[in-house]
Chains A and B, each alone.
Chain A
Amino acid sequence: MLNFFSLSKVFEISTKSSKYVFVLFIIVLTIGLTEALFLSPEDYKQSHSVRIMYVHVPAAWMALGIFSIIAFLSISTFVFKNKNFFLISKSLAPSGFIFNIIALVTGSIWGKPTWGTWWAWDARITSMLILALFYFMYLLSWRIINNQNNAIKISSLIAIVGAINIPIIKFSVNWWNTLHQGPSLKIMSDSTIHSSMLIPLGIMTAAFALFSLLIFLMKFNTEMIRIKNKGLDRL
């Protein structure tokens, strides 16, 4: 079991699997885009502008999900004193940040025809902007702190503090009166989205998840080679 998780084995698996993930991502994205742009119906109220949902919603879900994983790994770093968790967190952060930016920009584009404005200091939008700032600080901490131990501690602290914002984002539409609509997909009850829209949304979410996995694998390999480069310097 331990042999399976050895660094060389992980490197071998991540290198080989990234090629397959790339091919799968292209296939799923092509199907998703065809469904989202051409095959799915227009909304009776929002007309074709509803198609923005197929990039906006998966991006927001991914940004939230990735930050939650980073926060969980950061807590685990302190609890289990395992410094290898940072490799996973650091490799996940760039795609999470990009998804957050996509969610904000596409949300702004969607806001103009729907609400008549590009931006509003609404609870959901503002809390998503705060999440982007936490992502930025997390990535910046790795760039500006040269000492690895300090970088692990500070980036983990940023992620843990930033995690407080996750439930705020999730429940902001319930706690405050916002421009942003309430949740249409609920775990405990039936979805209010018709299957003709739910299926493309699911496919696009799968494509976004595959993209995140692809970037994670490439970034993970880069970090491992970087560590080995430092090892060669010490020889």
Chain B
Amino acid sequence: MIKEIILMNGYGPYVWSAFFFTLTSFASLYLLTKLQLLKEQKKYIDKFGSLNKAKVAIVREQKINKEILLNTVITKI
């Protein structure tokens, strides 16, 4: 039964390699995109940390900045 699933009448190497390539491509793109997101979040946190109080107040006025900070903290947890 297992041998039949693996060999697939001789078509096994073709079928399994096609599925393996697809899933590997998915995993690679997901990891690459996740890394890029984490890198930008880190850069944002570093820049935000180096701001003085007046600039922090300006940044906090914009709701999207609050969202980024909140989500970055959640991601790190």
Contact = CB atoms under 8 A, between A and B. Distances in A.
Interface in A11-32: 11-12, 15
Interface residues of B, number: 38
Contact of B40 (A7, A37, A42, A229): A229
A226 B44 CA distance: 8
B34 to A, nearest CB: 7
A229 B43 contact: yes
Contact of A113 (B11, B34, B59): B11
List of 9 A-B pairs having minimum Cβ-Cβ separation, nearest first: A48-B8, A8-B63, A8-B64, A48-B11, A225-B40, A49-B11, A106-B18, A55-B22, A232-B47
Interface of B: 5, 8-9, 11-12, 14-15, 17-19, 21-22, 25-26, 29-30, 33-34, 36-37, 40-41, 43-44, 47-48, 51, 55, 58-59, 62-68, 71
Given A11-B71, A219-B36, 17 more contacts: A6-B63, A42-B9, A51-B19, A52-B15, A95-B29, A98-B26, A101-B25, A102-B22, A105-B18, A109-B17, A219-B37, A222-B33, A225-B41, A229-B47, A232-B47, A232-B59, A235-B55
